């Protein structure tokens, strides 16, 4: 066995030894084990060397790449946690309501109900009729083509919004436990994500839309513009009256992965934003939902 392959094999053993007995993506694991992450970083270095060496064992290199993907967890800094059990969303952490009504009863989650106006102007992504479906397909084929968002009519609220100001590193993990109610006679759409700026006009949003074929869309937005980064309508089961966990990971190199109940749904890359974010917002664009818990972790600054 060549020296690189021996080094890779040793790193695989060292990485697996401390974590195999009880590795699970719980909130405690989110905090991270420093020694395990240090070994993963060493494994990354070995992987880069092995990938550049044509003499290395391809099968072993593939195994190492999968191990890195499985055990790499750089998000070890707790940035935000709220389960709303205290019955007060205005304190520790403080949430601010921009539009609409949000309420929380002691022992339950944050609840929101919003019945949108008939006009859908001002939405960054239109309802998925024949025209909007073609637009989404065009966006994906052309590589997140940006388009201008139409302004909403004056004095018409097209959404309910609640947000909290918190520093979020460029690489982050957002984990939200949601209960969404689906209606047959009205729109259902929820969006959430980190923003930049006091006006919250730039950042990312993850949008869930119920309907005959529910969809999950990852959006990038900036003042007056929005772009579809990735979108899927496969295996989306959020608006069934049960609680579901949505986990959204972003690495320092722009890779983003979205999981629903620990199942990977979206994997993509977007490097549009290099700077940290200034807060986190949740938007109700139609329907009723309850946020039972929201957790955000970041990396060392």
Which residues, 6 or more positions from 235, have their beta carbon under 8 angstroms from its beta carbon? 260, 263, 265
Identify the domain boundary among 71, 91, 107: 71
Same domain, 106 and 63: no
The answer to whether the beta carbons of residues 254 and 172 sit under 8 Å apart is no
Same domain, 171 and 218: yes
Same domain, 208 and 263: yes
H or E stretch covering 155:
none
Same domain, 21 and 47: yes
**Which two three-digit tokens encode residue 184?**
């047959």
Sign of CA dihedral 116, 122, 249, 198: negative
Total number of domains in the chain = 2
Same domain, 152 and 185: yes
- Residue 275 belongs to a domain with what CATH number? 2.60.120.560
**Distances in Å between the alpha carbon of 29 and those of 75, 112, 289?**
10, 30, 28
Same domain, 81 and 66: no
H or E stretch covering 236:
none
What does the pLDDT read at residue 125?
Answer: 44
What does the pLDDT read at residue 73?
Answer: 82
The answer to whether the beta carbons of residues 33 and 24 sit under 8 Å apart is no
**Per-residue pLDDT for the chain (301 aa), expressed as one digit of tens each?**
454 455 555 455 444 444 434 344 445 544 445 667 777 777 777 777 877 777 777 887 777 777 777 777 889 899 999 999 989 999 999 999 998 999 997 778 999 999 887 644 444 444 444 445 455 545 555 455 455 545 545 455 789 999 999 999 999 999 999 999 877 667 789 999 999 999 999 999 999 998 788 899 999 999 989 999 999 988 787 888 899 999 999 999 999 999 999 999 999 999 999 999 999 999 999 989 999 999 999 998 7
What does the pLDDT read at residue 254?
Answer: 94
For residue 93, is the peptide bond before it cis, meaning its omega torsion is within 30 degrees of 0?
Answer: yes
100 class by beta-carbon count within 10 Å (0-12 exposed, 13-18 middle, 19+ buried): middle
What does the pLDDT read at residue 240?
Answer: 87
Same domain, 219 and 251: yes
Same domain, 52 and 105: no
Identify the domain boundary among 71, 87, 121: 71
Integer-rounded Cα radius of gyration of the chain = 21
Q: Which of 262, 268, 189, 282 is nearest to 232 (CA)?
A: 268
What does the pLDDT read at residue 97?
Answer: 96
Same domain, 103 and 125: yes
Distance CA 147, CA 226 (A): 6
Same domain, 237 and 161: yes
Q: Which of 157, 162, 183 is nearest to 110 (CA)?
A: 162
Same domain, 146 and 83: yes
Identify the domain boundary among 71, 91, 126: 71
Same domain, 40 and 89: no
Q: For strand 225-232 and strand 147-148, is the pairing parallel, antiparallel, or unpaired? A: antiparallel
What is the residue range of 252's domain?
A: 77-298
């Amino acid at each position: 066995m060549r020296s690189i392959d021996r080094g890779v094999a040793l790193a695989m053993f060292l990485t697996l030894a401390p974590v195999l007995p009880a590795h699970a993506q719980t909130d405690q694991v989110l905090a991270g084990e420093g020694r395990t992450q240090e070994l993963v970083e060493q494994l990354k270095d070995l992987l880069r060397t092995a990938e550049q060496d044509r003499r290395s064992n391809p099968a072993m290199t593939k195994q190492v790449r999968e191990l890195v993907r499985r055990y790499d967890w750089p998000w070890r800094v707790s940035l935000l946690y709220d389960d709303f059990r205290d019955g007060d969303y205005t304190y520790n952490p403080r949430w601010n309501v921009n539009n609409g009504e949000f309420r929380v009863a002691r022992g339950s989650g944050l609840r929101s109900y919003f019945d949108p106006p008939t006009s859908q102007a001002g939405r960054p992504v239109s309802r998925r009729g024949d025209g909007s479906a073609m637009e989404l397909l065009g966006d994906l084929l052309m590589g997140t083509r940006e388009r201008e968002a139409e302004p909403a009519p004056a004095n018409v609220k097209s959404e309910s919004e609640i947000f909290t100001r918190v520093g979020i590193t460029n690489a982050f993990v957002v984990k939200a436990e949601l209960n969404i109610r689906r209606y047959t006679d009205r729109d259902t759409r929820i969006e959430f994500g980190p923003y930049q700026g006091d006006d919250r006009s730039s950042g990312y949003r993850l949008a869930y839309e119920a309907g005959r074929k529910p969809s999950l869309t990852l959006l990038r937005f900036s003042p007056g513009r929005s772009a579809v980064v990735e979108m899927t309508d496969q295996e989306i089961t959020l608006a069934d009256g049960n609680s579901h966990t949505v986990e959204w990971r972003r690495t320092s190199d722009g890779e983003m992965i979205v999981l629903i109940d620990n199942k990977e749904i979206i994997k993509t890359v977007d490097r549009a934003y290099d700077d940290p974010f200034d807060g986190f917002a949740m938007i109700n664009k139609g329907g009723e939902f309850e946020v039972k818990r929201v957790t955000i972790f970041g990396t060392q600054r």
